[in-house]
Amino acid sequence: MIFSYNWLQSFFRGRLPKPKKLAEILTMSSFEIEKLEKKGDDWVLDIDVLPNRAGDCFSHLGIARECAALLNLKLKTQNTKFQPKTQNLDIKNLLKIKVENSDLCSRYTARVMIDVKIGESPEWMRERLKVCGLQPINNVVDIANYVMLELGQPLHAFDLHKISGKKIIVRKAKKGEKIITLDNNKFNLAQDILIIADEKNPLAIAGIKGGKKAEIDKNTKTIVLEAANFDKIIIRKTRQELKLQTDASLRFEHGIDANLTEQGINRAADLIQKICNGKTSKGLIDFFPKKVFPKTIKLELDYIEQLLGVKIPKKEIISIFQKLGFTPIDQSIGVKKMLLVKIPTFRLDISIPEDLIEEIGRIYGYDHIKPIFPLAVLTPPKRNIDCFWQKKVKNILKETGFTEVYNYSFINEKDAKIFNWQQKTLIELENPLSAEQKYLRPCLIPNLLKNIQKNQKRFNEIKIFELGKVFRTGLKTGVEEKRMLTGILTGNNMFYQTKGVVDLLLNKLGISNVWYNEQEMFICKTKKCAEIKINGKGIGFLGEISAEIKACVFAIDFEKLQKHCSEEVMYQPISLYPTAIRDLAVLVPREIKVADVLNKINIAGGKLVRDVDIFDIYEGEKIQDGKKNFAFHIIYQAEDRTLTNKEIDEIHNRIIKVLEKNPSWEVRK
């Protein structure tokens, strides 16, 4: 944004520092001087104003306020009272205003000036406009531009006699409407564009550019001065849609003070009276349905020191606020020191106490604040149990040689048919990205099998797992969403290796009382399949998928698993005495479960049976129809001595006798 040094100087009784020094001071106060150059008798300051300060600093008055606060100078008292030269003509008899969209035009202020003489502007005005990059046109247009650069309020002037029906309407464009702007460009107006119109045609694109129809020319005698406050969002959208940026649109789209319109229009009318010999009609049309009042913010003085890291005296804080045009009121009670700060409406960027503290630091000077190491209490975050057990499970499986995979949460129709899932239990996507992603997955296994299929040519052995959500639906339960832990191992006779992995996993998670019950599962087509139980309640299963697919799978409900997990570890000293292992095979009817046999072995063996592992379940050749064979490793160990062969034989024989009490069971010797 371009500013004139001489123009800024005109706001003060005292002298501003030299241009280079002023540039340094402004730079230290969060502004940035992009260019400083001498132009005739003046200096041009190209100041990069941050967007949050556009509301007040896109004007010479705004920058002058900053200079006053930074340099402890006083602004010249501005005469806010405007004295019209004529009293016999009432504006209500000359012009009507109608605002159809008050949400897009929060304020519309208008004055009518008569007997205006159009001509050239004074040299001082032309020079200031040129320094700021604007080309002088005529005295009325130049005054409108001059006031915009001075106060930050865009204005526009219309020729009253060119306005149909002497009525101005602020509305959205109608379908098919067009406008020719002052620079002779033609625009087709979309219906979401806000315009200024008369009873017949558009007069201007609101907040952006005036139209040719009611332009000021050498024959103009009566003008309408407009100062408005438009919604910044619609101005920005219109500017982007039409690819038309102007000085007015730049200010409107950043937001300006709604209370600035009257000040701006009175300043322009006063200059027109002095320069153009115009006369002002009686009264002012001012559409302003929702008044904007100054905000008030409570500020604790202790918080200033806490945030800035430096103690600033209260008197100096109050002085800084007064320099900025704020009104501070001391609200201290006892030890609680507090200020109530009234914010002028032109400071749109101030809304919370931290904004006020930033202003204090900026004017006080960042270079006066010594850097110190921050002091803070480091509070450890609340432990996320969910994440903890997920990470724990993944690390355990990783250590056993598994690789974690991530798959999409979808399956296709072919998968649903292969696994015989009924459509009523599946959740179908309304807008799937492809046919491969028609349903939400009810199980992790199909996608894991696809991973196996793609990688089996490159690897002899594959061990992968996934921890992810599955989705199902039912008439009673509705949509069910839960996390499952599923792993697959490839190779021949992997059932017991898979069981070993599950045993290790559960053991490291602090889970005991684990049982495996033979049970057919929908996913497993062989008889090597078992349900995993903890404390008698099922949490998942493991089993071989089919005779053709040389892979074994385990699937565990992670929500249920997590409830049994424990970090507590019971200390058990390492025994000084050796173990002894004896094998035992039992031929039982097909309906008998492993748990039934394990219970009898543990009861009969007592404390000297340290552990029992099943290592084979066989049905087939050389086994009677309706029968199956269980093979166990029985581990014997005493805590206080080395067991003799005689003791082990006695216990082992006792177990055999207990098992053979059931006439349908046969211990194979």
The answer to whether domain 385-564 and domain 580-668 are alike in fold is: no
pTM for the full model? Answer: 0.61
Mean pLDDT value across the chain = 90
Does residue 547 have a pLDDT over 80? no
For residues 434 and 437, give the distance between their C-alpha atoms in angstroms, rounded to a whole number.
5
- Residue 421's nearest CA partner among 431, 411, 429, 430 is 411
- Residue 206's nearest CA partner among 224, 184, 221, 189 is 189
Convert the pLDDT of each residue in 398-449 to its tens digit: 999 999 999 999 999 898 888 888 888 888 888 888 888 899 999 999 999 9
**Residue 459: how many other CB atoms lie within 10 Å:** 11
Q: What is the pLDDT of residue 390?
A: 93
Helix (H) or strand (E) holding 470: strand 463-474
Give domain limits for the chain.
Answer: 2-71, 91-287, 295-368, 385-564, 580-668
Structural contact between residues 406 and 468, judged by C-beta atoms closer than 8 angstroms: yes
% residues pLDDT > 70 (the chain): 98
**Residues 43-52: contacts with CB under 8 Å, at least 24 apart:** 43/4, 43/5, 43/6, 43/19, 44/2, 44/3, 44/4, 44/5, 44/131, 45/2, 45/3, 45/4, 45/5, 45/8, 45/19, 46/1, 46/2, 46/3, 47/1, 47/3, 48/1, 49/1, 51/254, 52/349
C-alpha triplet 96, 152, 130: angle, nearest 5°:
110
Q: By mean pLDDT, which of 203-207, 464-468, 611-615 is the weakest?
A: 611-615
Q: What is the pLDDT of residue 651?
A: 92
Q: In the predicted model, what is the mean pLDDT of residues 378-385?
A: 86
Q: What is the pLDDT of residue 569?
A: 66
Q: In the predicted model, what is the mean pLDDT of residues 72-98?
A: 81
Does residue 561 have a pLDDT over 90? yes
Residues in the chain: 669
- Residue 59's nearest CA partner among 42, 43, 76, 47 is 47
Could you confirm whether domain 580-668 is CATH 3.30.450.20? no
Q: What is the pLDDT of residue 477?
A: 65
Domain 295-368 class in CATH: alpha beta
Q: Which CATH number applies to 385-564: 3.20.20.70, 3.30.930.10, 3.40.50.300, 3.60.110.10? A: 3.30.930.10
Structural contact between residues 143 and 78, judged by C-beta atoms closer than 8 angstroms: no
Q: Is 538 helix (H, G, I), strand (E, B) or coil?
A: strand
Q: What is the pLDDT of residue 571?
A: 66
Instruction: Give the confidence band of 570 by pLDDT, cuts at 50, 70, 90.
Output: low
- The fold of 91-287 is Phenylalanyl-tRNA Synthetase; Chain B, domain 3 (3.50.40)
| Range picked from 80-94, 98-112, 445-459 for highest mean pLDDT | 98-112
- Specify the CATH architecture of the domain 2-71: 2-Layer Sandwich (3.30)
Q: What is the pLDDT of residue 77?
A: 67
